[in-house]
Amino acid sequence: MVPAMSRKNRVWSRREIEGLIADGRKIIILGDQVLKVDTWIPYHPGGNKSILHMVGRDATDEITALHSKEAQAHMQKYVIGTINGRWENFLPPIQGGIFRPLASKGVDDETLDAEEDISSSGKSTPPSPVFDPVEKGDGVRRRRTGTETPISRASSVYSSELELAPFGSAEASIAHAISSDLSKYPRLDQKSQDEVVTKYRQLDAKLQSEGLYDCPYSSYAVEFIRYSVLCVLFLTSLHYSYYALSGLFLGLLWHLLAFTVHDAGHLSITHGFHTDSCIGIFVADFLGGLSVGWWKRNHNVHHIATNSPEHDPDIQHMPFFAISSRFFTSLRSTYYDRDMNLDAAARFFIKYQHYLYYPILLFGRFNLYRLAWSYLLDPAQAPRKGSAWWHRYLEMAGQVFFWYWYGYRTLYLSIPTWSSRITFLLISHMVTAPLHVQLTLSHFAMSSADVGVHESFAQKMVRTTMDVDCPSWLDFIHGGLNFQVVHHLFPRLPRHNLRRAQPYVKEFCQDVGMPYVIFGFTRGNKEVISRLGEVAEQLRVLEECRKVAARDLVEGRHGH
């Protein structure tokens, strides 16, 4: 038997790792270490999908951003060796990557070396349609002069995907969107991306040294006062039969509590896994009827595959919304394992999505109930083993408690008539709609182009995310979600410290030549509605073209 130490010291070639992945192994690169995480997948509290999106990739920044020091130390159990030099990412199998099995065991070293040379050229990773031409430039892309405002730069960034009409094919449209994005961000060559990664890690170290990872618990004392006031107003109004007003206060309470769930899900309150998980379960399940376990599984993928139409569940809202014409091809969701069909219902909703955006979001909370129960009733989604196995059962107890106090004690027993019950139900749920607006605001208007596996984590987060500008005294209404660029770069940063971190992030973006996108709340909403309207118009044009083509075909046949 080979000693554990010697196994961890083994140096793996890129070709050997490709062969392992071809055999179904889940191999991830962390620093210069090779991790085989097959046995960890059933234990992972964040679900299996986030792990699968990292197979064959250097996941150092993703792991560091989303995991505590304790979790990272635990990962040392899965180290099987090291690599030499800089790792060149494969496209993960879940994203369509194709891997070649190793040759027979008797393969000679010369053949293996030859295959290593072939593999290093990235043949297992389908190239971006514009990546190779961009790579042929003269080193690091020249930085901006600073004469262009962030907003004007941003407009051209997220409008790039919308200028699709002149192109004759989906491939040309996608290539144009990617090319437009790459012209405004650092190049994807090794030198440029290494500079982004190095300075991103330096910024993370600086934020730690400044104490910005330390949770300001006094801020939660203020939050607790807000929660208490709204709870008292809810119960008092209910007691005196002001049902509409009572529903309003309860909805506002749920709105604010959701931000604490978000904090707990990212372990940014106490930084303790079980403590923050229990806080999240108590608030989400017992008080709100939602599932923090579902949220973690969904949200971790969102933080890794941000704004990817095929992979990010946070932008997969078919048949109601499509933020890119790529959804017109009935893409397959790797998260839900199903096709997002452009059927008759989708065609209707998407053509009017810019008008239906706010009305549909009024009912967003009802969908969260459905997602919560679909997660809790499916043992395959929740962790079945390990220290978090019992979280699912605690969440189920929370769901029972919620529907007891809200559905039975409040809605049924405390409100005498069905008309008042329906009024209370709708108001308490619809008043949480601004939360759903906030969740979509920072991504719907941003790029959803896939520029390939060579893009660094930091650059992808900045390219696909925007901040919302508001006075500091309104931060509690946005719950930290107005600092989405900062949050996506540093997800475990406590939300009450995000404003303090924002100047550092702006300086980082300027230093590496990335546009830092920030809008006011009103302007941000206009940009989202504009994006939805332009995609709706693309669908109308597409359908008109199909009708004309069909008519020409029929007339041509008659002509014969």
Cα 345 to chain center, whole Å? Answer: 26
> Please, are residues 21 and 55 in contact by the beta-carbon 8 Å criterion?
yes
- Predicted confidence (pLDDT) per residue in 250-283, tens digit: 999 999 999 999 999 999 999 999 999 999 999 9
Residue 21 C-alpha from the chain's centroid: 25
pLDDT at 184 over 90: no
Mean pLDDT of 413-429: 97
Spatial CA neighbour of 181 closest among 533, 517, 416: 517
35, 77 Cβ separation under 8 angstroms: no
pLDDT surpassing 60 at residue 81 = yes
Please report which helix (H) or strand (E) contains residue 519, including its range. strand 518-520
Mean pLDDT of the chain, nearest integer: 85
pLDDT digit string, tens, across residues 332-386? 999 999 999 999 999 999 999 999 999 999 999 999 999 999 999 988 888 878 8
At residue 296 the predicted structure's pLDDT band, cuts being 50, 70 and 90, is: very high
What local confidence, expressed as pLDDT, does residue 112 receive? Answer: 36
User: What is d(CA 107, CA 110) in angstroms, rounded to the nearest whole number?
Assistant: 8
For residue 278, which of 412, 394, 114, 413 has the smallest C-alpha distance?
394
CA separation for the pair 238, 34 (Å, rounded): 58
79 φ, ψ to 5°?
Answer: -75, 130
pLDDT tops 70 at residue 55: yes
Per-residue tokens: 200: 């991103």
Q: What is the CA radius of gyration of the chain?
A: 25
Structure tokens at 328: 């017109």
130, pLDDT greater than 90 = no
Query: Is there a contact between 49 and 334 (Cβ–Cβ < 8 Å)?
Result: yes
* Both tokens assigned to 540: 């109308």
142 Cβ partners below 8 Å, 6+ apart?
A: none
Q: How confident is the model at residue 45 (pLDDT cuts 50, 70, 90)?
A: confident
CB 409 within 8 A of CB 422: no
Arithmetic mean of pLDDT, 295-322: 94
If you average pLDDT over residues 163-184, what whole number do you get? 56
Do the beta carbons of residue 216 and residue 475 sit within 8 Å? no
Can the peptide bond before residue 319 be classed as cis, meaning omega within 30 degrees of 0? yes
pTM of the model: 0.85
- Identify the structural domains of the chain with CATH numbers, from first to last: 14-95 (3.10.120.10), 190-520 (no CATH)
Q: Which residue, 507, 509, 521, is CA-closest to 153?
A: 509
More confident residue, 7 or 264: 264
Residue 438, pLDDT score: 87
Nearest to 259 by CA among 228, 231, 286, 295: 295
